Amino acid sequence: MSGSRKPIRALLLRHVFPPIALWIYRRWGGSWRYVTENEQVLTDLLRGPRPLVGAFLHGRTFQLLYYFSRPERGRWILMCSQSRDGDFMAQVEQGMGFRVARGSSGKGGARALVEMIKGQREDPGLGSCLAVDGSRGPRGIAQFGTLTLTQKTGGVLVPVAASTADAWICSRCWDRNVMPKPNAEIRILIGEPIEVPPGLDAAALEAKRALLEQRLLGMHAELDARTGFSDSQPLRASVLA
């Protein structure tokens, strides 16, 4: 019986649920009120000649997706997993106007990263967005994907934080996904760009990774304090050596 359910589930995830979810998310996100701090930094970079690589925490994706779907905030390519759930999410993201490369840190990530690099090289106006802690975590621990994107495209790495006190927290999710409630006020903080030149040795690249992680965690701690958002768990998961 379970085998017979798989084609039905795949059909629902690919063709039935995405348009419904897209309709709901557009209206949900349309009710949010965004307040952007350091917005001029993003505006100036969007007008500049270099491609952008947006870096954020996976747990704040839900509130950032609508923000970056607005036409005045540029055009972006995202990475989405190759799973069946990824099929669903990819269609929603495409419906929001994003270009999507399929892959994740668990499967197909390198191929998706190459597609993102190629897309940005061929289309100078295309930016890329990538969660620094990947698709599986650990939560809040930066990986090297955004650094590679920045190096290979000759782009500028831009940390972005998002916070709202009026939200639900998915406590069962590895990233403790934060979902703003309808009509929530969401604060966005655009961080100072980080240069990641090509040819860095392993020690220098690790220093850039640590800088990105520290900056994003600091930005979120600062922003959460202003919005009043709190969570019982830290932004960065503890990892045993």
Could you tell me if residue 237 is inside a domain? no
Q: What is the pLDDT of residues 33-92, one digit of tens each?
A: 999 999 999 999 999 999 999 999 999 999 999 999 999 999 999 998 887 777 888 999
Pairing of strands 75-80, 126-131: parallel
Specify the 3-state DSSP secondary structure of 185.
strand
- What is the mean pLDDT of the segment spanning 118-127? 94
Residue 42 and residue 36: Cα distance in Å, rounded? 10
Could you tell me if residue 235 is inside a domain? no
Could you tell me if residue 240 is inside a domain? no
- What is the mean pLDDT of the segment spanning 11-38? 90
Which residues does residue 190 pair with via DSSP β-bridges, in sequence order? 160
Tokens for 19, please give them.
Answer: 């348009």
Q: What is the pLDDT of residues 124-140, one digit of tens each?
A: 899 999 999 998 899 99
H-state helical runs in the chain: 2-11, 17-30, 39-47, 61-69, 84-95, 109-122, 145-153, 202-227
Could you tell me if residue 106 is inside a domain? yes
Q: What is the DSSP string of 87-133?
A: HHHHHHHHHTT-EEEE-BTTTBHHHHHHHHHHHHHH-TTEEEEEETT
What pLDDT, on the 0 to 100 scale, is given for residue 157?
Answer: 98
Q: What is the DSSP string of 112-123?
A: HHHHHHHHHHH-
137-147 burial, b at 16+ Cβ within 10 Å, e below that, comes to bebbbbbebbb
Could you tell me if residue 234 is inside a domain? no
Closest among 167, 160, 174 to 229, alpha carbons compared: 167
- On whether the CB atoms of residues 81 and 135 are closer than 8 A, the answer is yes
Residue 119 and residue 134: Cα distance in Å, rounded? 20
- On whether the CB atoms of residues 32 and 184 are closer than 8 A, the answer is yes
Domain limits for position 137 = 2-227
Could you tell me if residue 241 is inside a domain? no
Q: Average per-residue pLDDT in the chain?
A: 92
pTM listed for this prediction: 0.91
Pairing of strands 99-102, 52-56: unpaired
Could you tell me if residue 232 is inside a domain? no
Looking at per-residue confidence, does 85 or 23 come out higher? 23
Could you tell me if residue 118 is inside a domain? yes
Q: What is the pLDDT of residues 190-229, one digit of tens each?
A: 999 999 999 999 999 999 999 999 999 999 999 999 999 9
Tell whether omega for the bond before 182 is within 30 degrees of 0, i.e. cis: no
- On whether the CB atoms of residues 175 and 59 are closer than 8 A, the answer is yes
What pLDDT, on the 0 to 100 scale, is given for residue 29?
Answer: 98
Q: What is the CATH number of the domain that holds 61?
A: 3.40.1130.10
Looking at the 3D structure of the chain, how many domains does it have?
1
What pLDDT, on the 0 to 100 scale, is given for residue 240?
Answer: 53
- What is the mean pLDDT of the segment spanning 111-126? 93
